[in-house]
Amino acid sequence: MLEKQFLIDQLAAQLSASVRAALDASEASATEAREGATPAEKREDARAALELGSMGRAQERRAKRAIEELDALKSWRAPSTLQKAMLGAIVEIEDPDAGEGRTFFLAPVGAGVTLTGPGGDGFLSVVTPASPIGRAVIGHGVGDTVDVTVEGEPREWTITWVG
């Protein structure tokens, strides 16, 4: 469980950083829209002020979404041992065509975030059950072969480890 808690803590830290970045960008856009030009310049280029305001609102939405994900992550606990890929599993797959393996952490939020293993041991990609990879592996165990489309390319992967 320590390994998974390490991953959850790392994901929470990255989501927190995303919240801070979005809030900072929102405030910067709002300040620029308010104070970035003289009244005459604002009248001449009202579209720029409107765009800055729109960017600020988009960053606020991004921050709100990241806060919701962070709250969901804080209330979630990953199971310690698993036989099949499910929420909370660390899944290793092998792509025989490419001759390479990948490791994923199935989490409720944080899709696309890259985490490092304890002590910097390897990298894991966070996938959610809503992602194509998450949908493909959920419910499968070691030795199962799953079909998934990655970047428009169909792939066939074999699950080599679930924990």
DSSP 3-state of 79: coil
Distances (CA, A) of 1 to 9, 39, 78, 80: 12, 58, 8, 5
Distance CA 66, CA 72 (A): 10
Q: What is the DSSP letter of 36?
A: S
Strands of 153-162's sheet in order across: 114-116, 123-127, 100-106, 90-95, 153-162, 145-150
Report which residue type is found at 15. Answer: L
Q: What does the domain layout of the chain look like in residue ranges?
A: 2-74, 90-162
* Residue of 160, 162, 3 whose CA lies nearest to 95: 160
Report which residue type is found at 59. Answer: Q
pLDDT confidence tier of residue 133, bands split at 50, 70 and 90:
very high
Specify the CATH architecture of the domain 90-162. Answer: Roll (3.10)
Give pLDDT, residue 28. Answer: 83
Give pLDDT, residue 38. Answer: 63
Model confidence pLDDT, tens digit, residues 26-71: 888 777 766 766 666 666 666 666 776 777 788 888 888 888 888 8
* Residue of 34, 7, 31, 3 whose CA lies nearest to 108: 7
Model confidence pLDDT, tens digit, residues 69-114: 888 888 887 777 778 999 999 999 998 887 888 999 999 999 999 9
Residue 158 in this model has a pLDDT that exceeds 50: yes
* Residue of 8, 118, 119, 152 whose CA lies nearest to 69: 8
